[in-house]
Each structure stands twice: as C-alpha cells, then as structure tokens.
C-alpha cells in the first residue's frame, strides 16, 4: 500500500511540473514585440503578452506598478482603471476593446536596448539594514545593485531585467534589453482620489479629466488611512526621514529620535507629498513589487517613479486629496465606468483587417484626423520592507527638504489624449462613452 502511495505521489508531482514551467517559460524582448492578443484573458503566470500590455498601460498613465510580465493583482487593477477611464464595464479582464484602445500607445516598440554606464554602478550600497538605528548610521539609503537602479528607471521588477537578459552580467559596458516607458506625464492635477477598496490613487485635472492612476498601499486594518478631504501642504524630493517613537510608532528597541538619510531605499522613498492632515502623506517605497502585499501605518505608498511623476503635477494648496470611505470607489464618485455590458457589435478594426484578427504593433489603431500626433507626453528619451511612518520629521519635511521644493507648474490646458481620441474609432456604433471632460469635479 505504501509503495502504491509513493508511486501515486511521484506521478502527481511529475504531471504538475510542466504546467508550472509553462507559466514561467523564458521569453525575449523580441517575443514581447511579436506578442499579439488572442481574444481571451491574459495567460496565467508570466508571458510576453502581459509584459506588452503592462508597458502600454504604463504609457497611458494607468500604472500597473512594476512591469514583470506576470498576470497579477496590480496589472488587473490597472486594466480595471483603464476600463473605468474608457467607460467600459469594469471587470479587470483583458478583452478586444481594451486591447484595441491600448494600441493608441503602441506607436513605438515596447522594448529598447540600453548600455550600462559607469554612473549606473556608482553610489551603490551592499545592503539596507532593517533596524532604524543602523539605517541612521549610513550615508544614504541608496540602491543595492545596478538591477535595482535600472528597474526604477525603466519601471521594471529588477528580477525581470535578469529574466530578459539571461547570462548577461549587469556591469558597465553591457548592452541589455529593457522596457521602454514614456517620459513622465505632465499636466496639473487639482484633485486626487484615493480608493481604498481597489487600492488605486487617481489624479484629475480642473476639467475632471483623469490624468494618472496608480496602484498603492493604503493603510491597514490596524492603522487605517485618514478619512475626508485634505490638501497638499508640501512636497519634498529625496527627503530625510525622521523616526520619532513619541509621535509615530516604536520600531524594535529604538526609543529615541533618529534621522535616516535620504535615498530610494528610505522608508518614504524618493518623494514626500505632505498633506494638511498632520503626519500623513503620499510617498514612494523601497519595495515597489510589494505594494499590494505590504501594509502601511496610514500613509499612501506609490512606486518611486509614480510618486515622482505625481509630485510634479500637484500644487501646494491647490490640489485636494480625497480619501474615499471603505467600499466607495472612484467610479462611484466620478460617475465613470458605469457601463454594465460590453457592446454587442464587433470591435472596430483597421480597414481591410479580417474580423478574427487584431491590430499589430505595425498596424496601430487609426486615430481621428489630426489626433494621432498629440499624445500628451514628450518623445522617448530586495530590501526588507521598512515600517511606515508619517512624515520625514513626524509632521512635515525636514528643513533640508523645504515645502514646494518642486516648482509649481503654471496652469496649462490639458493636452489631447490619445485614448479619448481613439474612442471614436475603436468602439462600435451606438456605444456611448461618457465624455471624460464632463466628469463630476
């Protein structure tokens, strides 16, 4: 009996191994470029198609967080946010309508070659300690590897860089393949909505049009984020972090005030956006891949690159930050994404395309005349999770990182949006999309 049981277990383990391997089989940058949507949801595990969808979502301003090729919670939440923006039913499932609209951001390759420089290897540290007293003794909360530094630059999980470049040593002079995000979005965000239910942070302009939407860590059940509406009070780039157990929380045996030096691996990452609600803010994180698995002490964590992008679009005293009640979503307060069923007519494809085919990178979605050139952006150019605190000095940024460190951009009229332009040609006749500019303020 025991012999048969061992044989059965061996067979079961052997039979499941290929499925696991298939979900994470190797692929290259060329495979990402060639990936095409097959009219179904994204495949399980890691795939070239998911990596391609992630970079297109990233370019649209609907961030998937880290690009890693995996079908996971952050990517699904980004698809759902993209559907909300487009007025489609919000289920977070990839479908022909989402794919067709994403082609507005496929005007250039999804990947690019990059040669590692000497500067990329400078200023690194061996590791980041967990204890705050040890952190305070360091000169900087710097990157721990070239892969980590390039991961933040190209919005990638550092392990995904090595995945796309097997056997390549990440040293100066090596040429590797990385993703090709757009430069940071530009504009003016006057309203930030924080959705605790979906773990998304969305920024809107004065016309009520969505500018950006990010995945986030938003408080925890033990230390929830605040409620109500507040204002942006300060912005600090690369701030120091002041640990004060009398104001914030107690970490380990540390019972005195400590100043942790700045850096991307600091407790608040590379940016602090302070709120008029004392000790609360929106900031970066040293562990971007763990946004949906980490918990915070009440503040809102974004990836460092998303936080940096948002910081340049807010204005001191001119941007409201609205924390929604649990169970209330961005769609509820903006009236967007109200559709309950997808259009019954077939999705519009480029002229001459067979109904069962989808547009390729070489056949992007045709945009309305004079709209295709306006994209709203310029042309292309693991540490242990640290406990969250409230603000770099317990209430506001340090003197070395004064308020309004980032110059406030003058109000500008929102640029043409390729997604909004694309909606006219992408959806079947009779499907009405709520105009984004008419969203409730």
Instruction: Specify the residue for token string 């909004």.
Output: 420
Return d(Cα 266, Cα 264) in angstroms, integer: 6
pTM: 0.75
What distance in Å separates the CA atoms of residue 95 and residue 137, rounded to the nearest whole number? 51
3-state helix, strand, coil in the chain (%, to 5): 25, 15, 60
- pLDDT, mean of residues 294-321: 93
Strand pairing category for 281-283 and 300-301? parallel
Instruction: Indicate whether 372 pLDDT > 50.
Output: no
Provide the phi-psi class of 421: left if phi over 0, else alpha when psi is between -120 and 50, else beta.
alpha
Average pLDDT for 335-358: 50
Residue 355 above 50 pLDDT? no
CA angle 129, 73, 290 (to 5 degrees): 5
Q: Rounded to the nearest 10 degrees, what angle do helices 418-426 and 73-86 cross at?
A: 70
Q: Which two tokens stand for residue 45?
A: 């595990």
Q: What is the pLDDT of residue 251?
A: 81
Given a cut of 80, whether residue 137 has pLDDT beyond it is yes
pLDDT tens per residue across span 380-427? 443 344 344 445 544 433 333 333 333 333 344 444 555 555 554 444
Query: Running DSSP on this structure, what letter comes out for residue 215?
Result: E
The pLDDT tens digits of the residues spanning 198-216 come to 999 999 999 999 999 999 9
Long-range own/partner contacts, residues 361-364 (CB < 8 A, 24 or more apart)? 361/33, 361/106, 361/109, 361/110, 364/103, 364/104, 364/106, 364/107
Provide the angle, in degrees to the nearest 10, between the axes of the packed helices 304-311 and 146-153: 40
CA–CA distance, 50 with 97 (Å, rounded to integer) = 16
CA distance 179 to 385: 25
């Amino acid at each position: 009996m025991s012999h048969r049981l061992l044989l059965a277990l061996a067979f079961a383990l052997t039979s499941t191994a290929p499925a696991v391997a298939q979900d994470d089989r190797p692929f290259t940058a060329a495979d990402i470029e060639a990936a095409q949507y097959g009219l179904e949801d994204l495949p399980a595990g890691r795939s070239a198609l998911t990596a391609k969808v992630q970079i297109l979502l990233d370019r649209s301003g609907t961030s998937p967080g880290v690009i890693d090729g995996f079908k996971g919670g952050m990517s699904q939440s980004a698809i759902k946010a993209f559907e909300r923006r487009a007025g489609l039913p919000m289920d977070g499932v990839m479908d022909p309508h989402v794919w067709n609209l994403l082609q507005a951001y496929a005007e250039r390759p999804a990947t690019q070659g990059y040669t590692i420089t000497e500067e990329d290897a400078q200023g690194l540290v061996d590791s980041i300690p967990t204890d705050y007293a040890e952190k305070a003794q360091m000169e900087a909360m710097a990157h721990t590897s070239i892969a980590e530094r390039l991961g933040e630059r190209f919005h990638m999980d550092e392990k995904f860089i090595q995945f796309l470049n097997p056997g390549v040593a990440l040293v100066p002079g090596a040429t590797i393949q990385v993703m090709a995000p757009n430069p940071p979005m530009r504009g003016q965000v006057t309203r930030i909505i924080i959705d605790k239910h979906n773990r998304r942070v969305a920024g809107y302009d004065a016309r009520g049009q969505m500018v950006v939407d990010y995945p986030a860590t938003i408080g925890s059940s033990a230390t929830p984020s605040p409620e109500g509406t507040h204002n942006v009070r300060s912005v600090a780039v690369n701030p120091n972090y002041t640990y004060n157990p009398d104001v914030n929380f107690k970490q380990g045996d540390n019972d005195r005030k400590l100043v942790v030096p700045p850096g991307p691996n600091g407790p608040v990452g590379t940016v602090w956006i302070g709120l008029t609600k004392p000790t609360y803010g929106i900031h970066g994180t040293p562990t971007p891949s763990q946004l949906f698995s980490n918990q915070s002490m009440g503040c809102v964590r974004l990836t460092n690159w998303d936080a940096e992008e948002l910081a340049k679009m807010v204005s001191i005293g001119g941007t409201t930050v609205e924390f929604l009640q649990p169970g209330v979503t961005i769609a509820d307060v903006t009236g967007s994404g109200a559709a309950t069923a997808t259009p019954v007519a077939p999705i519009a494809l480029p002229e001459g395309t067979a109904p069962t085919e989808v547009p390729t990178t070489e056949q992007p979605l045709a945009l309305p005349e004079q709209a295709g050139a306006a994209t709203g952006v310029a042309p292309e150019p693991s540490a242990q999770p640290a406990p969250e605190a409230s603000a770099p000095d317990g209430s506001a940024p340090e003197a070395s990182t004064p308020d309004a460190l980032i110059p406030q951009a003058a109000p500008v009229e929102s640029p043409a949006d390729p997604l909004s332009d694309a909606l006219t040609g992408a959806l079947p006749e009779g499907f009405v999309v709520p105009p984004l500019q008419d969203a409730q303020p």
